[in-house]
Structure 1
Amino acid sequence: MIGVIGVIDMPRQAREKSSTGIYHIMLRGINRQKIFEEDKDRQKFMETILQYKTISNYKLYGYCLMDNHVHLLIRETNEAISKVIKRISSSYVYWYNQKYDRCGHLFQERYKSEVVETKAYFLTALRYIHQNPVKARMIKDIETYFWSSYNDYIDHPVITDIDFALEIFSIDRQIAIELFKKHSKENNRDQCLDYKESINTSDDEIMKCLNQLGIRTVSELQRLEKEHRNNIIRKIKNVKGCTITDLTGTINLSLCPYPCVP
C-alpha cells in the first residue's frame, strides 16, 4: 500500500519467539523522557509489576529501574509477553498522567526485546541489567542501588523469582549466592539489546537549571503555557555544553507542546 508521501508502508517485523519463553525487555521513555520523577513513581511501577505478576502469572527473574528506561527479565507462561508488557505499561502511564496532570505517551511505543535461549546468555543478561546503574556512573557498587533485583538474590526476595538463576550456579544456596555475587561484579563488555545508556552530564545540568528556575519536574515544564515555557527553555539553552538535541531529549519538547485541556 502506498502511503501519503509516496513510500510503500512496510509492516513491522514480527518479534522473535523465544523457545524458552524468556525475554529481556526494555521500556524506554519517549524521546528519552524521564519516566520516574521521584521514588514514589518507582514504587508505583513496582506495585504495578507485582499486580500483573499475579494476574498474568509470569516469572520475573530480574529488573532495573533507571531514570528514563526499565529493564525486565521475564518468562511468559499462560499469557504472551506482549500482553504482559501492555498491561504493565498502560496501567503505569494512566497513573503517571493523572498524577502529573499530563497527557500523551510516556513510553516509546514499541518496546525493545530479545530472546534468551541459553542459560549462559540468561546470566549475561541478568548481569547486564544489574550493572546498568554502575555503567551509567550513577553508583559504584551494584549492592547500593535500591531499584534493581540484585539484592533480592542476596537477601530475602520481595518480587523476584530467584531460584532459576541461583540453581544454575549451584544447588547449594549459599554457594550459589557467592557465585552469583562474583559473576554479577565481573568486568565485562556486555551489550545486551545494543543500547547505549542515555544518562549524561547534560541531562543532569539541565535538570539542575530547571530546579533553580522553580521547575521541579519535566512534566511540570510541559504543562506551562507556551510563552512561559519557551522563556524557561531560552534560559537553560545557556547551559555549558547544552545542545538543541540535549534539550529535546531531556525535556521532551515534542510531547504535549500546549497545555492539555481535560
Structure 2
Amino acid sequence: MPRKARERSETGIYHVMLKGIDKKDIFAGKQDYEKFLYYVNRAMEISKFEVYGYCLMPNHVHILLKEGTEKIGDAIRRIAVGYAQYFNIKYGRNGHLFQNRFRSEPVNDDVYFLIVLRYIHQNPIKANMVINMEDYEWSSYNEYIMKSKREITNIKFAMELFSNIKNFKKFMMERNKDKCLEYNERIRYTDKELEKMIMSIIDISKLKELDKETRDEVLREIKNVTKASNRQLSNVTGIGRGIWEKV
C-alpha cells in the first residue's frame, strides 16, 4: 500500500516528531543529547530552516520548525542519519535507530502554533520527569526565558505574540488537554460520511448561531463521537480549525 502523502503546511511551519524504533531510548546520556543538538545546528546551516521550539525526550524528539531551502524531509533526514550513525558507532549497534518515517503536522495559524509550542515544552512535565519546565535541560523553554546559553531557537517569532515574558510564561504553564500529533490517531471518513454523523447530533447550519458556551459544548460532543481530525471537522462544518483545537 502506498504511503499517504505528507500534508503540506500553508505557512511552511511544521511540528515534527522522531521516535525511537520499537519505542527504545535514543539517548543514553548527556553527551547524546548534546550531539543531537549539534546535528540540528549543522542541518540548520545547510537547509536554512528555523527552529521555534524543541524537546528531546528519552525515546522521542519534538521539533517545531519552519522549512528552509530544502524540503522538510531532507532536513530531518540530515539530523536523523547523522545522529544515528554517531549513536550506532558509540554503542556498537547496527540497524535503524528511529522509526523509518518521521511524523509531522502542518501548523497553519498562530493559535495552533502556540498550542504546539506549549505542548512541546510541557512534555517533560506530563511525563512526570520534572515539576517545572525550566528544570528540564533538553528543551527550548530555557532559551525563551533566557536561562540557556544555547542559540538554536528563534524565539522572536513566538515572543511577538505576547506583550511580555510574564504572559509567555503564564501561557506556557497553563494546564490543558492539548493533544498534538502523537495522539491524533483519528478515524478517517469521507466528508459526506462525517457530515451525516454530525447531522445526527446537530444541524450543521445552526452551529454558528449558537452562543459560544453552547457551541463549544456541542463541538466537544462532535469530537468525542466522531474522533475525526480537527482539519476535516473544520472543512465539513465551516468552523475554524483554531476553534476546534481549543475545545
The alignment's TM-score, normalised by the length of structure 2, stands at 0.72
Q: Residues of 2 paired with 1:119 and 1:64: CA distance?
A: 20
Deviations 1:127-173 (A, max 9, x none): 00000000000111101101000010010652110000000113xxx
Q: Residues of 2 paired with 1:182 and 1:160: CA distance?
A: 20
User: Is residue 166 of structure 1 aligned with residue 180 of structure 2?
Assistant: no
| Counterpart in the other structure of 2:115 | 124
| Counterpart in the other structure of 2:50 | 59
SS of equivalent residue, structure 1 residue 65: strand
Aligned 1:20-59 pairs, distance under 5 A: 20-59=11-50
SS of equivalent residue, structure 1 residue 193: coil
Q: Residues of 1 paired with 2:23 and 2:80: CA distance?
A: 16
Deviations 1:175-198 (A, max 9, x none): 1x11110100000000101439xx
| Counterpart in the other structure of 1:144 | 135
SS of equivalent residue, structure 1 residue 188: coil
Moved more, 109-118 or 148-157: 148-157
Deviations 1:93-151 (A, max 9, x none): 01111101110000000111110000000000000000000000011110110100001
Please, which runs of 5 or more residues in structure 1 have no aligned partner?
1-9, 197-262
Please, which runs of 5 or more residues in structure 2 have no aligned partner?
185-247
Q: Residues of 2 paired with 1:195 and 1:141: CA distance?
A: 23
Identity of aligned residues (%): 52
| Counterpart in the other structure of 2:189 | none
Q: Residues of 1 paired with 2:183 and 2:42: CA distance?
A: 28
Shift in alpha-carbon separation, 1:157–1:43, aligned structure 2, 3 A: closer
The code of the aligned residue for 1:185 comes to: M
Structure 1 stretches of at least 4 aligned residues deviating more than 4 Å after TM superposition: none
Q: Residues of 2 paired with 1:96 and 1:194: CA distance?
A: 24
Aligned 1:88-107 pairs, distance under 5 A: 88-107=79-98
Q: Residues of 2 paired with 1:52 and 1:111: CA distance?
A: 16
User: Is residue 179 of structure 1 aligned with residue 167 of structure 2?
Assistant: yes
- Tell me how many residue pairs correspond in the alignment: 182
User: Is residue 154 of structure 1 aligned with residue 129 of structure 2?
Assistant: no
Q: Residues of 2 paired with 1:194 and 1:106: CA distance?
A: 18
The code of the aligned residue for 1:190 comes to: D
Q: Residues of 2 paired with 1:71 and 1:127: CA distance?
A: 12
| Counterpart in the other structure of 2:69 | 78
The alignment's TM-score, normalised by the length of structure 1, stands at 0.68
- Quick one: which of 186, 190, 194 aligns to 2:178? 190
User: Is residue 112 of structure 1 aligned with residue 103 of structure 2?
Assistant: yes
Deviations 1:185-214 (A, max 9, x none): 000000101439xxxxxxxxxxxxxxxxxx
Q: Residues of 1 paired with 2:183 and 2:16: CA distance?
A: 12
User: Is residue 69 of structure 1 aligned with residue 57 of structure 2?
Assistant: no
The code of the aligned residue for 2:108 comes to: E
The code of the aligned residue for 2:168 comes to: F
SS of equivalent residue, structure 2 residue 17: strand
Q: Residues of 2 paired with 1:164 and 1:158: CA distance?
A: 14
